[in-house]
Amino acid sequence: MNTVHARYMELLSIQTKRPLTAMERKELIESKQYVENYLWEFAKLKNLSYMAYISKDYGWLHDICRELDQLQGGDSI
């Protein structure tokens, strides 16, 4: 979990206890969009890795795994 994910979860928790400020609402929307994009990219890469595996294209699979590692490390998107 990176900083944006953690903040998103924090804001979701805060809004159950009190109304969010205007800045927090903006942050919630932006972090939600970031998390959605992250999850879309992650799912896409996982599906592509399966396609590379079943087609036995190990060079492609290696490239996709590198992209997944970067994504999980926070270096992508």
Give 74's pLDDT tier (boundaries 50, 70, 90): low
Q: What is the pLDDT of residue 2?
A: 87
Could you give the residue ranges of the DSSP H alpha helices within 1-77? 3-15, 22-54, 58-73
pLDDT tens, position by position, 16-67:
999 999 999 999 999 999 999 999 999 999 999 999 999 999 999 999 999 9
Of 40, 7, 28, 66, the closest CA to residue 75 belongs to 66
pTM beyond 0.75: yes
Of 3, 68, 61, the closest CA to residue 42 belongs to 68
Q: Is 40 helix (H, G, I), strand (E, B) or coil?
A: helix
Give 76's pLDDT tier (boundaries 50, 70, 90): very low
Asked if 41 contacts 71 with a C-beta cutoff of 8 angstroms, the reply is yes
Give 77's pLDDT tier (boundaries 50, 70, 90): very low
